[in-house]
Chains A and B, each alone.
Chain A
Amino acid sequence: DTAVSQTPKYLVTQMGNDKSIKCEQNLGHDTMYWYKQDSKKFLKIMFSYNNKELIINETVPNRFSPKSPDKAHLNLHINSLELGDSAVYFCASSQEAGTYGYTFGSGTRLTVV
C-alpha cells in the first residue's frame, strides 16, 4: 500500500527520557513534515524536510531533532522529555510544488508521565 507510515503508534515514557519516532513514505514525495496536535486538537507544523534538507523549523525547542537519512524517511528524536511534550505527532509528505496535497500518517500518541 502506498502510504505514510509511522512507528510507534503509542509511546508512554517517563520525564527525562529520550525517545524517537520513525516515519517512512513510499509515495515518492520529496518533502516530509512533522506536525504536533495538542490537547485542544490544533495541528501545528514543527519541521519540514525537502530531499533531506531542513526547510522549516518552527521555533521548536532544540530538544527536538529531526533526521532525514533519505527523502523517504524522516525521524523525530526528542531528548529530555517533558510533561508538555505529551501530544499526538503526525508525519506527512507532499511534493514541493505547491499544487500537491498532503498525505498524513496515522499519528504517534506520546504520553510523558
Chain B
Amino acid sequence: KQEVTQIPAALSVPEGENLVLNCSFTDSAIYNLQWFRQDPGKGLTSLLLIQSSQREQTSGRLNASLDKSSGRSTLYIAASQPGDSATYLCAARKTDKLIFGTGTRLQVFP
C-alpha cells in the first residue's frame, strides 16, 4: 500500500530564503508525482508534474526532482516570497489512484 510522507510538516522562513520541501513514498512503482499548492480555504493548484522517467521539472522559481529508486521527491523554492505562503502537497500516482502526502504548511514572512 502506497504511503506518502512530507517533511517538514510546517515551515516558517523570512522572505528571500531558498527552501527545500521533502516528499517520500513507499512504493517506487509510480507513474508520476505531482506537486500542488493549496491556499487556506481554496482548492488545489497544480505546480509541477514529474513523470516516472524524468529526474526533474522546473517552473519559474520552482524546481521539483524525483528519485524513484529511493522513493523521494523534493520541491525547491528559490528566493521565497510572502505570496508563497500556502500548504504544499505532493501526490504519487499509481494506476488510477493519486495518493497524497500529509502536506507542508509554509509561511514566508516579510
Contacts and interface: CB of A to CB of B under 8 A. Distances in A.
A102 B43 contact: no
Interface residues of A, number: 25
Contacts of A42: 100, 102-103
Interface in B85-104: 87, 89, 91, 93-100, 102-103
Interface string B10-51: 000000000000000000000110101010011110100101
Sort chain B's interface into a size bin.
Answer: 20 to 34
A45 B97 contact: yes
A106 B89 CA distance: 15
A107 interface: yes
A45 B94 CA distance: 13
Contact of B43 (A48, A56, A105): A105
Interface of B: 31-32, 34, 36, 38, 41-44, 46, 49, 51, 87, 89, 91, 93-100, 102-103
Interface of A: 31, 33, 41-45, 48, 50, 55-56, 90, 92, 94, 96, 98-99, 101-107, 109
